[in-house]
Amino acid sequence: MKNHAVSNSATHRRSVLVIGSGPIVIGQAAEFDYAGVQACRALREEGCRVVLVNSNPATIMTDCEVADAVYLEPLTVASLEAIIKRERPDALLPTLGGQTGLNLAVELSESGVLDRYNVELLGTPVKTIKLAEDRAQFKEAMLAIGEPVPASTIVTEIESGVAFAADYGYPLVIRPAYTLGGTGGGVVYSEEELRETLQRGLEASLIHQALVETSLLGWKEIEYEVIRDRADNCIIVCNMENIDPVGVHTGDSIVVAPSQTLSDREYQMLRSASINVIRALNVQGGCNIQFALHTERSEYQIIEVNPRVSRSSALASKATGYPIAKIATKIALGKTLDEIENPVTGVTKAAFEPTIDYVVVKVPRFPFDKFPHADTRLGTQMKSTGEAMALGRTFEAAFVKAVRGLDLGYETLTGTATQKRSDNEIDNILCVPTHERLFAVAEALRRGRSVESIAQASTIDPFWLYKFADLVALEERLRAADNDADRRQAVEFGYGSLGIARLVGKEPAELEPAPSFRMVDTAGAEFPARSRYYYLSRGERDEMQVPEKPAVVVVGSGPIRIGQGIEFDYSCVHAAWALQKAGRAAVIINNNPETVSTDFDISNVLVFEPTGPDEVEAAYRATNAAGVMLAFGGQTSINLARELSRRGVRIIGSDQHSLDMAEDRDKFDLALERLGIARPKGQSATSFDQARTIASELGFPVLVRPSYVLGGRGMEIVYNPGQLASYIETAPPITPGAPLLVDKYLRGLEVEVDAVFDGDDILIPGIFEHIERAGVHSGDSISVYPTQTVSAALEKRIVDVTRAIAAELGTRGLINIQFVVHKGELYIIEANPRASRTVPIISKVTGINLVAAATRVALGEKLRNMEYGTGLIPRMPFVIVKVPVFSFAKMRGVETILSPEMKSTGEVLGIDPTFEGALRKGFIAAGFRFTDEAHRGRLLVSICDEEKEESLDTLRRYAAYGFTLVATDGTHRRLADAGIPSERINKIAQGSPHVLDAITSRSVNLVINNASGQREISDAYRIRRASVDAGIASLTSLDTAQALISALESTSGPPHSLQEYLRDTIAGKTAQGLSQTTIGVIKDVDAHVQVPV
Amino acid sequence: MKPGILLLADGTCFEGEGLGPDASALGEAVFYTGMTGYEEALTDPSYAGHLLTFTYPLIGNYGISGTAAQHKHACVSGAIIKQIARRPSHHESKNDLPSWLIEQGVPALTGVDTRSVTIAIREHGAIHAILAVGEQAIASAEKDLAKSVREATTVGLVASVATQTVETYPGAGPHVIVIDCGVKRAIIRELTRLGARLTVMPYDTPAQDILDRKPDALLVSPGPGDPTDLPQTIEMLRELLGKLPIYGICLGHQLLALACGARTYKLPYGHRGGNQPVKNLLSGSVLVTAQNHGYAVDGASLPADLEATMVNLNDGTNEGFRHRRLPIETLQFHPEASPGPSDAAAFFSRWLTAIA
Ligand SMILES: Nc1ncnc2c1ncn2[C@@H]1O[C@H](COP(=O)(O)OP(=O)(O)O)[C@@H](O)[C@H]1O
Ligand SMILES: Nc1ncnc2c1ncn2[C@@H]1O[C@H](COP(=O)(O)OP(=O)(O)O)[C@@H](O)[C@H]1O
Ligand SMILES: [Mg+2]
Ligand SMILES: [Mg+2]
């Protein structure tokens, strides 16, 4: 490839296209927002114009501040080509958008688009990308340079896999080519398993190819993060050791940096091998290499190479302070490591290897608290949604803090729910790991099982087990008798006041030894650093440099989980930026290594710690902060309010009293009553009988949920006493301490607002309307701005009610409210006194930075003195549609039907002058393939009785569009009565060929199935599950089905950047008088105005 | 738990847990930034006379193998560690670190805030210190340190670790004489692995004895202390200049510089670790190197005949030179690694090829 020197860009401002990674899914999360933001900033530092494409509106990279032209457009070749045609970028940087970005770059290159528009590919060449991805070619290349790889064969059909097994025996590992997070792969122990897994794997592979490989189960899994520049200089940023040996995906493993059980010879052997590999592959930028290291022979095998930034590189960056994405970007522009400054020391160069004087532990966050019926076994396919990381001066401290940071209520290793398991169950978990293994190890140790025996069962290295054993013993000693020495030890080892209170049975007055903040400086203190990146240790020298400006602490949102995702990171980062603009020093405390907020470049002080009360208080006191802001970190940070207030920590923004009124059901109900605002009737039940009585008084359907049960079953709509009984059967026991909440279920349109209130004025940038009726969680429904079916009168009512609630609650800053419109009446579902999922979206598309407004309000400014306006802001002359994205393929055994319980992991945005166009783009961005072949195919429909009538119009449209409808008896007959042609197909009980056969053989390509049933055993469930597993789009709500056909029937406009949308709008708006800001005034702009192209 | 302290000459005191019998150790307090390689470091002759602080907090995790040792015994005067591993886990481990340190008679201080020790050394510069284990040693530490500071000298460090006899290693390749100022086993292993025939000779061997053995080349080894403490060796090298190819590593590099007329000086707090970036001025490439030195060659003092070939990217110090006419080449860092990265391993084969 050509390597333009950076200086060439002096004459012409080079324009670089960056592809993001799209929606958050399991295996591809916030780490690419972190990498992408760093890349964009680095590109602009080097004088480039940045064109960014990403369909994910919750990201920080899609902010107008981050790139010169932001395209919130689908990540498809067609969409990219249209953008390239408009923008004519000089170059494309492909290695920062995860596997999605990489795959797209390869497709763009191979389809000739890059050549056609003369776009240079920066950094690692396509050839390398393909080589690393194609398992067969990769192995050949490794053998050619003398690097060992496990014996394997590449198969494109099942029989050759079976033949390989005949030679090598079992277990074998199946690894499909070109997939994310190991989709479709796995370890197989028998021919039957081999056939099943291989079929799934081949289907998941982009090129219908999979590798069948001999097993390395039980070897140590070690990763190296390597950087290479065009001058062939190579450095290792960091290595990492997985506590879970090979066999558990690194994304699901507990990972420690640096490695702890490798001798220097082993460390250097793998380091040299890494450099050998990265050279042979001609990587220019960052690269991740995974090794298996034999525990008895110091012999190694290469598992995989990722020639791009990754989850591991984000982890390595945060673990060491070395910004891999930034450096990789500069390398892609042609710089060499010895020319790039080390941003941490400011004096040395990027050409060095970080050395650290602390231990880093990452613990994965699994979604199984939400999905207790899912298959929780861990394997070669990733299942976690996020991770918590911690730094400590000892392994123990880092580990305990990481586990506490999961926000799952774990404050100790023992005394968890695992304690109830039998010896047999514990033994099973040790051998066949699940998300619970860590606690099973602790419980086994507590029961007196020896380290040797646990090591044998789990293949976990005794080094770690001894550490766990020490921790378990410490906990047991404290439980037996509270004493000073052990308490101090526990504090040094990262336990918090809550954990210690649980162990000794009383709240400790103060944690001793005192907190001491240590600096992350990449150099083990060898050089003075100007880093502002700290972690907490105990009883050592405190290195915190108190910021010169008055500090404010922003509490982050912790690990990514379903329901609390990257959108809160967006809010925290913007809060930090707003604080800085307001002349304050922003202190961020967070423990998620994937995020932008934990990039030390974002804040004035970064405290990398779990967001527990001890740590937040310590950060607040150490920085002499004026206050703590809780509204941006999601529900978990809001939950800190009470304890922090108790400790005398000043909360700024909505105060503890205000938060409490929104959070406490009774207080909130009283407030609504005072205001005369309706909410669905409901009551809490402390017994089954009471629940039944309440339900029959309210009248079915009702919505039930356990109150405050961590890891408990979620919310459900129940239609009759039978369903209520079966819900209660599987729910956690109802007690006076943990009542069941029973609400009247109100069917109707769901609308949602985000607002900022300052005590006098309210700012509402817009109102969202959901496509799916209430009953589908707001995070899982398609939502639209501006509203399409809401009358002006209703909008006015929404604004008035929002204002009234904010005023009554004493809100100072953000509030998010969800409503249901039932029979023309407005009911309030809930009010969240904090940022929300929709905040980044509405902020981006209206140009009104809600977080900045809220931050300034919290600091005492008034909205009327800001530039955003007040009241309901006039609607934008274009439409956006947010479409949720699910990771069901990776969550085996999980029911996929949309319900009040949130299930999606991410979201995309469609943006277009028309509603249908935006809808269409939204569906495409969410992964629906709108080709004739895929979508004028066969549609399998199965509609529940209650909705059969209502479904006819929609289904008629599918038929008219060209779909062949396939239906089981009931639906088939109803369709025939309505004159809609369909083919009849057997139900499962009617025998083959039946619906499941049609799905697995892929003779249908779209499924609409909204029948809810006795969950995991019903036909409906099996149909939905089979569709997901076969990669067939399956819709579970008629509303979604209707939206999809509307999208199919329409066309969408060409891509425009967000800047263009906003520029055109602002120009148009000023003409119409943007100054109209009286509360409650709604401008009736036609939602279908065309944006001039 | 036995008390222990590290007392620096400026009065700064760090408390921890003492390991081993009651004793005290005196020396220059330095820090090593490598995250692995404690066995190699503790047995590296260049650490003779030093109280070695490990910046990495967990030391001893993979035990003591014996085969990683660079010398027949531990060379450091004392070790300062945050958390020492009592139950190591590694298939090569023959002993745990605490037991081994006790066997070797190396007093150690554990449970110390080693990062603060490191910062103190960095801010003060290399500093004399005493490590005291047990009440009695602690009581007299201040007095003992004051006395030792008055009498402090680096003279004799090389003699304490270098061979006094001639040792030979067979090989089919070129004959190399290694001048032992405190050579590491890894250097011997690397050269013999490449086929060289080695004769290891004491650092004070007269030039004629060397010439009498008709070697193909001379390699001056690393070792502890100040190069100007070895006038005899410098003189010997001066006599040999131009008579045979000479290579130098670390102390050997400094001695050769002195023999050629350059100057050396003491670094503020030395380079000790495995992550020092060095730029090869001839090729432009960057090597990540293993280092262990408190003194350096003043790059500005290199006479016209010497050409700097290597420079440290962190602080710009000289990391190697070559003679413009004669086959003389030196490296300040350790191509034999052990501990540390082996980016520079190719130098050995290059040198052997050059003289073959
Ligand atoms: N040959 C093997 N035997 C056993 N486990 C393996 C083998 N190869 C890979 N694995 C496990 O599967 C995980 C995923 O494999 P990897 O190649 O890294 O795929 P991905 O692209 O999903 O990261 C690894 O982290 C490792 O634990
Ligand atoms: N009484 C109700 N009637 C109809 N739908 C409801 C009702 N209560 C909740 N929902 C639905 O359930 C979803 C989740 O409920 P919500 O109270 O907002 O919980 P969360 O705190 O998880 O957001 C809502 O988005 C809405 O669609
Ligand atoms: Mg992998
Ligand atoms: Mg909600």
Q: What does the pLDDT look like over A948-977, one tens digit per residue? A: 999 999 999 999 999 999 999 889 999 999
In this predicted structure, which of A695-709, A943-957, B181-195 has the lowest mean pLDDT? A695-709
Residue A919: partners with Cβ closer than 8 Å, 6 or more residues away: A782, A784, A881, A910, A1043, A1046, A1047, A1050
Helix (H, G, I), strand (E, B) or coil at B323: strand
Angstrom distance (rounded) from CA A808 to CA A206 = 55
| Protein residue with its CA nearest to atom 8 in ligand 1 | A303
- Helix, strand or coil for residue A430? helix
Look at the block and give the residue holding tokens 């009360």.
Answer: A613
pLDDT of residue A1088: 24
**Minimum Cα–Cα distance from A518: chain B residue:** B115
**Interface probe with A: pick from B13, B314, B315, B317, most Cβ of A within 10 Å:** B314
Give the DSSP letter string of B79-130.
EE-SEE-SS---TT--B-HHHHHHHHT--EEES--HHHHHHHHHHH-SEEEE
CA of B168 to the centre of ligand 1 (A): 49
DSSP secondary structure letter of residue A98:
H
H or E stretch at A154 = strand A152-155
- B164: exposed, middle or buried (C-beta count within 10 Å: 0-12, 13-18, 19+)? exposed
CA distance linking residue A137 with residue A626, whole number of Å: 58
Per-residue pLDDT of A157-189, as tens digits, reads: 999 999 999 999 999 999 887 665 556 788 899
Could you list the active site residues of B? Answer: 250, 334, 336
A818 lines ligand 2 (CB under 6 A): yes
E runs forming strands in chain B: 3-8, 13-19, 23-32, 50-54, 58-59, 78-80, 83-84, 108-110, 127-133, 167-169, 175-180, 197-202, 217-220, 246-249, 264-280, 286-297, 306-312, 318-323, 328-331
CB A653 within 8 A of CB A813: yes
Which of A462, A518, A528 is closest, CB to CB, to B89?
A: A462
- Which chain B residues are closer than 8 Å to A351 by Cβ? 277, 279, 286, 313
Between strands A1033-1035 and A1006-1009, the pairing is parallel
Residue for token pair 């090989």: B171
Q: How many interchain CB pairs under 8 A, A with B? A: 153
Q: Which range (A727-741, A801-815, A840-854) has the least confidence? A: A727-741
Band (A130; pLDDT cuts 50, 70, 90): confident
Mean pLDDT, residues A320-338 taken together: 96
Report the alpha-carbon distance of residue B217 to residue A743 in Å, rounded: 91
Bridge partners for B264 per DSSP: B297
User: Which chain B residue has its CA at the smallest distance from A541's CA?
Assistant: B116
Q: What does the pLDDT read at residue A1090?
A: 23
Residues with CB under 6 A from ligand 1: A 150, 173, 175, 181-182, 213, 215-217, 221, 246-250, 290, 303-304, 380
Tokens 């899914």 label which residue? A25
Indicate whether A628 pLDDT > 50. Answer: yes
Say if residues B71 and B160 touch (Cβ distance below 8 Å).
Answer: no
Q: How many angstroms is it from B47 CA to the middle of ligand 2?
A: 68
Tokens, residue A906: 């991410």
Percent of all residues in chain A with a pLDDT value above 70, rounded to a whole number: 94
**Which among A320, A391, A344, A340 has a CA at the least distance from the CA of A529?**
A344
Q: Which of the ligands is closest to the CA of residue A382?
A: 1
Residue pair A71/A20 in contact by the 8 Å Cβ criterion: no
Q: Which of A249, A288, A309 to mutate to test the pocket of ligand 1 (most atoms within 8 A of CB)?
A: A249
From its phi and psi, is residue A967 left (phi > 0), alpha (psi between -120 and 50) or beta?
A: beta
Query: For residue B329, what are the β-bridge partners?
Result: B247, B322
Q: What separation in angstroms does the CA of A125 have from each of A285, A328, A751? A: 10, 13, 47
Give residue A150's pLDDT: 95
CA dihedral of A850, A856, A859, A863, whole degrees rounded to 10 = -100
Q: For the residues of A363-393, what is the DSSP string, one character each? A: EEE-GGGT-TTS--B--SS----EEEEEEES
Phi, psi at A804, each rounded to 5° = -65, -45
B48-102 pLDDT per residue, tens: 999 999 999 999 999 999 999 999 999 999 999 999 999 999 999 999 999 999 9
What is the rounded distance in angstroms from the CA atom of residue A954 to the CA atom of residue A970? 17
Dihedrals phi, psi of A606, to nearest 5 degrees: -110, 125
* Contact yes or no for A218/A245 (Cβ under 8 A): yes
Quote the percentage of chain B above a pLDDT of 70: 100
The CB-based long-range contact list for B134-141 (8 Å cut-off, 24+ gap) reads B134/B2, B134/B3, B134/B4, B134/B18, B134/B21, B134/B22, B134/B23, B135/B3, B135/B22, B136/B22, B137/B22, B137/B23, B137/B24, B138/B3, B138/B4, B138/B5, B140/B24, B141/B5, B141/B7, B141/B24
Q: How far is CA A570 from CA A55, A125, A601, A988, B247, in A?
A: 15, 32, 15, 46, 58
Helix (H) or strand (E) holding A588: strand A585-590
Which residues does chain A have within 8 Å of residue B286's beta carbon, measured at their own beta carbons?
A: 231, 233, 235, 336-338, 351
Per-residue pLDDT of A450-468, as tens digits, reads 999 999 999 999 999 999 9
Q: Phi/psi of residue A815, each to 5°?
A: -145, 140
ipTM score for this prediction: 0.97
Rounded to an integer, the average pLDDT of A231-237 is: 97
Residues of A in contact with B29 (CB under 8 A): none
* Ion ligand 3 nearby residues (CB, 5 A): A 304
Q: Does A696 touch chain B (CB under 8 A)?
A: no
Tokens of A1087: 């939602």
Count the neighbouring beta carbons within 10 Å of the beta carbon of residue A84: 21
Whether A226 and A235 have beta carbons less than 8 Å apart is answered as: yes
Pocket residue to mutate for ligand 1, from A303, A378, A432, A459, most atoms within 8 A of Cβ: A303
pLDDT value of position A11: 55
B274, B34 Cβ separation under 8 angstroms = yes
The average pLDDT across A699-722 equals: 78
In chain A, residues with a C-beta closer than 8 Å to the C-beta of B56 are: 355-357, 524
CB-neighbour burial class of residue A642 (10 A; exposed 0-12, middle 13-18, buried 19+): middle
**Cross-chain Cβ contact B118/A525 below 8 Å:** yes
> Which residue's CA is the nearest one to ligand 1's atom 6?
A247
Q: Mapping DSSP to helix (H, G, I), strand (E, B) and coil, where does residue A861 land?
A: coil
What secondary structure, in 3-state letters, does A696-721 show? Answer: HHHCCCEEEEECCCCCCCCCEEECCH
Query: Smallest Cβ distance to B36: which of A264, A297, A352?
Result: A264
The type of residue at A727 is Y
Q: Which residues pair with A310 in a beta bridge?
A: none
Contact assessment for residue A157 and residue A202, using Cβ atoms and an 8 Å cutoff: yes
pLDDT at A423 > cutoff 80: yes
3-state helix, strand, coil in chain B (%, to 5): 30, 35, 40
Query: Which residue in A275, A338, A518 is closest to B279 by CB distance?
Result: A338
Which of A262, A274, A526, A542 is the best residue to mutate to test the B interface, defined by the most B CB atoms within 10 Å of its own CB?
Answer: A526
Residue found under tokens 């029959």:
A696
- Residue A504: CB atoms within 10 Å: 18
Contacts of A297 in chain B (CB under 8 A): 91
Q: Which residues contact A978 (CB under 8 A, 6 or more apart)?
A: A952, A956
* Distance in Å, CA A632 to ligand 2 centroid: 21
Please work out whether the CB of residue A668 comes within 6 Å of at least one atom of ligand 2. no
Interface contact A258-B35, CB threshold 8 A = yes
Cβ distance B82 to A394 less than 8 Å, yes or no, reads yes
Q: What is the mean pLDDT of residues B22-38?
A: 97
Check CB contact under 8 Å for A298 and B36: no
Distance CA A857, CA A758 (A): 6
Q: How many residues does chain A have?
A: 1093
Model pLDDT for residues A56-88, shown as the tens digit of each residue: 999 999 999 999 999 999 999 999 999 999 999
**Strand-strand pairing, B246-249 and A964-967:** unpaired
Confidence of residue A1089 (pLDDT cuts 50, 70, 90): very low
